[in-house]
């Protein structure tokens, strides 16, 4: 179908600004530009927000914890479930300021306590650094569920773009390292193919917000000398996906990552995992996080929240 009119307005506005492409900048410059773009979506009010520090090997991470307005929307009588959320930005850009809006929105809609994790970024911390940070954060949430007022036995992981990639790989680590037990994975337009080998990567290479050039730049900084088929970097190449948590995979029609996300959902189903792929026609990468300006973004957030409530 044609490009959604709301997406077209966004692309026209970005073109009028004539901003440099991320791939032409240094990582610090790209991070600053990305923060400015993310400011388009304000952070919804939640019942409570706190900053927590998560110790990890070689340092510490900052996390923002959100508690939902109106309590646990899942209807459970005790502590609410918990979602550990990882932001997008190609493992290179993005932080809590660019993802708090999505985390808070999912918190209110799903009734989950949401822990939004600021993992360390490449190239300063290339693969597997961000992944090990993400896994350590999930373990910390489980160990500190009582202090968070959440039920860590009802645990989900999720994220958008690079954060969705980390979520998939965290689920592989949790399975292979004997825990923690993750009940659900929420994957918003995940990059799961370091080879960039699917048709949509070429069909949507330019003109639709995320470009193939930028995605190549992201992968290059994240992987370094790592084999792009390493299954913890590119989960699509994992030989065995059995035993992973159920998943919702959201994709966008005009996204270079569309086909690989849908292929990953199919691989999960072939392995006996309950997985639903939901394509939003007419949309571009990142649309769900712009739920305040895209009707489709609002629908995607509602769908994600329903999936979380059903799973947890």
Give the catalytic positions in this structure: 161, 255, 285
For residue 266, give Cα distances in angstroms to 28, 106, 151, 248, 285.
Answer: 37, 25, 30, 11, 20
- Strand partners of residue 186: 158, 248
Residue with tokens 């019942």: 47
Kindly give the pairing relationship between strand 59-67 and strand 247-254. unpaired
Contact 69, 44 (CB under 8 A): no
Positive or negative, the CA dihedral 262, 83, 222, 237 is: negative
Torsion of CA 42, 43, 45, 46, to 10 degrees: 160
d(CA 304, CA 283): 16
DSSP per-residue letters across 29-71? HHHHHHHHHHTTSPPPP-SEEEEEEEEETTEEEEEEEEE-TTS
Look at residue 103 and give its three-state secondary structure. helix
Contact 159, 167 (CB under 8 A): yes
Contact 113, 66 (CB under 8 A): yes
Residue 183's Cβ-count burial label (10 Å; 0-12, 13-18, 19+) is middle
For residue 3, give Cα distances in angstroms to 6, 12, 255.
Answer: 8, 12, 11
Other CB atoms within a 10 A radius of the CB of residue 61 amount to 18
């Amino acid at each position: 179908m044609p490009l959604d009119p709301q997406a077209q307005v966004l692309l026209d506005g970005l073109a009028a600004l004539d901003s440099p492409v991320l791939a032409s900048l240094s990582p610090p410059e790209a991070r600053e530009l990305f923060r400015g773009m993310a400011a388009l979506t304000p952070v919804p009010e939640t019942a409570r927000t706190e900053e927590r520090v998560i110790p990890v090997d070689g340092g510490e991470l900052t996390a923002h914890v959100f508690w939902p307005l109106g309590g646990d929307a899942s209807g459970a009588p005790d502590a609410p479930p918990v979602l550990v959320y990882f932001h997008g930005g190609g493992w290179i850009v993005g932080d809590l300021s660019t993802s708090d809006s999505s985390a808070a929105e999912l918190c209110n809609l799903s009734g989950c306590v949401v822990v939004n994790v600021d993992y360390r970024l490449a190239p300063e911390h290339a693969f597997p650094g961000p992944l090990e940070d993400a896994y350590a954060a999930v373990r910390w949430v489980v160990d500190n569920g009582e202090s968070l007022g959440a039920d860590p036995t009802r645990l989900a992981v999720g994220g958008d773009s690079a954060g969705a990639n980390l979520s998939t790989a965290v689920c592989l680590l949790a399975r292979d390292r004997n825990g923690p037990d993750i009940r659900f994975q929420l994957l918003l337009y995940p990059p799961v193919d370091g080879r960039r080998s699917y048709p949509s990567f070429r069909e949507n290479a330019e003109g639709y917000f995320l470009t193939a050039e930028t995605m190549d730049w992201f992968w290059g900084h994240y992987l370094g000398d790592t084999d792009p088929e390493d299954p913890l970097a590119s989960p699509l190449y994992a030989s065995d996906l059995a035993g992973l948590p159920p998943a919702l995979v959201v994709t966008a029609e005009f996204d270079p990552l569309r086909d690989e996300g849908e292929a990953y959902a199919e691989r999960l189903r072939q392995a006996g995992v309950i997985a639903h792929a939901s394509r939003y026609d007419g949309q571009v990468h990142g649309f769900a996080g712009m739920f305040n300006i895209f009707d489709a973004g609002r629908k995607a957030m509602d769908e994600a929240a329903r999936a979380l409530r059903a799973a947890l």
